[in-house]
Chain A
């Protein structure tokens, strides 16, 4: 295991604490690790699915940027 320390907003911490109590997680720590695991998988899926822009959209944008002189 690797130990990291991060700053999170007070409001979020309080919600995590309350949530940990409600779902019976042993600690905020355990809940955070679960949530991170879930979040990381979701982001990886998004990236794999090429969620952002299609090739066609990108080339249309490139063309506009060129016509306006933003790109050579």
Chain B
């Protein structure tokens, strides 16, 4: 059996097609709110049940519970606030009980039933979620730039905006049917925002050795300049899977999500999302969802001990490297050799090499994967 959804039920809050036309025809009378990229993606994840059991944006009681206890008020683990912020001007235009049309890039993307509008303490929010109030932390910076009010209320997602990745996206309902059809009882999920190097491959294959299936779940979304473009990541993975993974043991599909860089708290959130997709295991590596030096190397692994009731099993990995002493890929837990016999895989080196059009060393990245990446005119975000 694949995982039970978080909280027991897979949420579905997607506006049915027949109602969509009515709503859009009558929508001119509704108050409207523009939402940013993060909220738009959260909306989709609420809609399809990736965030089950959430049916909308947190109210003040739930936010406080999440901030202080890392749980919803019903005690279910939940570590990242899913909130919708508005400024003073927007606050004056909506009232409790209103249905608001949520807009993204000029298109309607959801309906919000306003249940509460409330103020919140940004400093406290940042300190609790990110363990810092340093504005240089990208997650903190976003919180500080948010409006002064939050709106709590349930939503209905309107799947209207197209980004070209529709054929790569499976909803939790779809992945659950797929895993069942494949006869997988145990599924390990891997979250990624990067092109695959040998370290990723060995982590995935080590995990796959003990379970029925591997679910590779790249996060598509806003990226920094110099990051690999989303289509490059997907193509690189396709090459790796087609050439080097057993057919029938791997599923790759995307999730649209804006990273918070909340390290340990976000690792729990990532695990919950994958549990809702049906995964039974989740890979957590070094500095998962971290940024800069805000979190300890393995803090995102340690936090799982506080959630024995999470309902998905974390698999903790140390970094893989190539070791001349071992004569192959190895990691700190299994290799007895000196550091100077090891070739550590460096994302920076790989990026540097690829940006000059050169295939990185074979101990770091497979040639076939590198060639796929180099087949793009510019694999990087400008």
Contacts and interface: CB of A to CB of B under 8 A. Distances in A.
B181 A9 contact: no
15 contacts: A7-B309, A9-B71, A9-B75, A9-B306, A9-B307, A9-B309, A11-B69, A11-B71, A15-B75, A57-B173, A61-B174, A62-B177, A62-B181, A70-B251, A71-B182
Interface residue tally on A, bucketed by range: 20 to 34
A64 B306 CA distance: 39
A57 B14 CA distance: 15
Interface in B177-207: 177-178, 181-182
B33 interface: no
Nearest to A39: B8
State the majority secondary structure of interface residues on A: helix
A65 B308 contact: no
A12 B251 CA distance: 36
Contacts of A26: none
Given A57-B173, A61-B174, A70-B178, 16 more contacts: A8-B308, A8-B309, A9-B306, A9-B309, A11-B71, A11-B75, A15-B75, A51-B9, A53-B173, A58-B177, A62-B177, A64-B174, A68-B167, A70-B170, A71-B178, A71-B181
Interface residues of B, number: 19
Interface of B: 8-10, 69, 71, 75, 167, 170, 173-174, 177-178, 181-182, 251, 306-309
B71 A65 contact: no
Interface of A: 7-9, 11-12, 15, 43, 46, 51-53, 57-58, 61-62, 64-65, 68, 70-71
A65 B309 contact: no
Contacts of B251: 70
Given A9-B308, A68-B167, A61 B75 contact: no
A12 B69 CA distance: 11
Contacts of A64: 174
Contacts of B308: 7-9
Contacts of B69: 11
A13 to B, nearest CB: 10
A64 to B, nearest CB: 7
